[in-house]
Chains A and B, each alone.
Chain A
Amino acid sequence: MADTEKIIEIEVLRYRPEQDKEPVWQTYKVPFTDDMSVLQGVQYIKDYLDETVSFRWSCRMAICGSCGMMIDDKPKLSCKTFLRDYYPGKLRVEALKHLPIERDLIVDATDFMKKLESIKPYIIPKEERTLAQGEYLQTPQQRDMYEQFSSCINCMLCYAACPQYGLNPKFTGPGILALMHRYNADSRDGGQAERNELGYADEGYWGCTAVGYCSEVCPKGVDPANAINQNKMNSAINYFTRFITPGGADK
């Protein structure tokens, strides 16, 4: 049996750089069924009401990390958020906070991508092994040390949740620092010294003031706040021991 058709109001923060001096709200009336996500609501707008509305999306199942937006001021994946939870009220969608709006619901991710590349988000083998030597072995507990941090889908919701990033975009930010920890905490990896120069810098772990909202909004349970703050101790030890360890003061 088909659901009775209901209508929900979706307010979209529009920004068309060629005509808008600043973003403006525009309201659309969208018919929906209980199984429709917010993403589907926005897609309905584009397909039937206003083809000029721009947004990113791809997988529709919370794995590609493209469709993040502010939904009633909370950073969420729009494919994983349902219209029925806002009915009979209306809902507001806006581009992810703290990132520049490129157009409508699309943010400029240049800064994020540059930072992602800078932390070398790949395993730098601790020891080179030949094929004949076999695979790099790891115990389940060694895997547990990094596994949750490896679930990041680069959706940038944590950046929209981090006021420190909003106030100072030089801060490396939650998602990327969590990924840095993901590789540093991997028993097969030997790239810590290269990455820690960024991690221990002012813009690294210390830019975080433990607001903790990043971990709340993460759709994949990564817990960036934990990844970042557990490194502050290591960073402090490194700071105070660099004078007594050979070659330590050079950095």
Chain B
Amino acid sequence: MSNRRPYVRSMDGWWKRDAYFVSYMAREVTSVFVAAYAVVLLAGLVRLGQGEAAFNGWLQYLTTPWMKVFHLIVLAVFCYHTWSWFKIMPKTMPIMFVGGKRVQPGTITGTGLAAAVVACLAVLFIVGGVS
């Protein structure tokens, strides 16, 4: 008879065990805020379909103090979301060479962040031009 009795340790509370896991969970949680904000925008689309008065009502609702606080929170969370996902982006890409030299992870992350900033500025510019 074997005396072996391998002991399996519990995974309870695993994500609190290491700061690295906490930042990973924070990155994942930001996706919930992205989904929540998509719901807000979808609600706007539905209101738009119901006519001008309904849409203006939705716009009015966005200017209430609670919604302003909500937007500030979402903005902060989105910044972390953008940074954390572009940080992991080099892991998701095949090894690339430019001019015979390997593209460094920092370059990939930096390019992604720069693209995000340019896209945000472009949207702000277009919206500013329209209104």
Residue of A at shortest CB range from B90?
Answer: A226
A96 to chain B, nearest CB (A): 10
A225 contacts the other chain (Cβ, under 8 Å)? yes
Q: How far is the CB of A74 from chain B (nearest CB, A)?
A: 8
In the assembled complex, which residues on chain B have CB atoms less than 8 Å from the CB atom of A212?
24, 88, 91
Q: Name the distance in Å between A150's Cβ and chain B's nearest Cβ.
A: 13
Inside 8 A of A190's CB, which chain B residues have their CB?
none
Q: Sorted from nearest, which 7 A-B pairs have the closest CB atoms?
A: A100-B6, A17-B5, A229-B92, A225-B91, A101-B7, A108-B6, A230-B94
Flag if B88 contacts A101 (CB, 8 Å).
no
- Whether a CB of chain B sits under 8 angstroms from the CB of A182 is no
Kindly specify which of B8-16, B42-50, B66-74 makes contact with the partner chain: B8-16
The contact of A145 among B5, B18, B20, B95, by CB within 8 Å, is: B95
A211 close to chain B: CB less than 8 A: yes
The answer to whether A211 and B7 touch (CB under 8 A), given A167-B14, A226-B91, is no
> Who on chain B is nearest to A226 by CB?
B91
Inter-chain contact B21/A163, CB cutoff 8 Å: yes
Determine whether the beta carbon of A163 is less than 8 Å from that of B15. Answer: yes
What chain B residues lie within 8 Å of A73 (beta carbons)? Answer: 17-18
Q: Nearest-CB distance from A93 to chain B (Å)? A: 15
A151 shortest CB reach to chain B, Å: 14
List residues of B (71-112) whose CB comes within 8 Å of A's CBs. Answer: 88, 90-95, 97, 100, 102
CB-contacts of A136-180 with B (<8 A)? 141, 144-145, 163, 166-167
Q: Smallest Cβ distance from A224 to chain B, in angstroms? A: 9
List chain A positions with a Cβ less than 8 A from chain B: 15, 17-18, 22-23, 73-74, 97-98, 100-102, 108, 141, 144-145, 163, 166-167, 209-213, 215-216, 223, 225-226, 229-230, 232-233
Q: What residues of A have a CB within 8 angstroms of the CB of B92 in the complex? A: 210, 226, 229-230, 232-233
Option from B3, B14, B91, B102 in Cβ contact (under 8 Å) with A223: B91
B19 to chain A, nearest CB (A): 10
- Bound Cα distance from A223 to B21, whole angstroms: 17
Interface of chain B residues 10 through 36 with chain A (CB within 8 A)? 11, 14-15, 17-18, 20-21, 24, 28
A146 to B, closest residue via Cβ: B95
A176 to chain B, nearest CB (A): 17
Closest-CB distance, B23 to chain A (whole angstroms):
10
Q: Is the beta-carbon distance between A213 and B8 smaller than 8 angstroms?
A: no
Report the bound CA distance from A102 to B3 in whole Å. 10
Shortest CB-to-CB span from A83 to chain B, Å, is 22
Q: Other than the known A216-B20, A232-B92, what 7 A-B pairs have Cβ atoms closer than 8 Å?
A: A17-B7, A100-B6, A167-B11, A210-B88, A215-B91, A226-B93, A233-B92
Residue on A with the closest CB to B6? A100
Pick 22 A–B contacts, CB within 8 A, sort by A.
A17-B4, A17-B6, A17-B7, A23-B7, A23-B9, A98-B11, A100-B8, A102-B6, A163-B15, A167-B11, A209-B28, A210-B88, A210-B91, A212-B24, A212-B88, A216-B20, A225-B88, A225-B91, A226-B95, A230-B91, A230-B92, A233-B92
B43 to chain A, nearest CB (A): 30
Complex Cα spacing A74 to B21, Å: 12
Residues of B within 8 A of A101 (CB): 6-9
Residue in B closest to A211 when the chains form the complex, CB atoms: B24
Give the complex CA separation of A223 and B91 in angstroms: 8
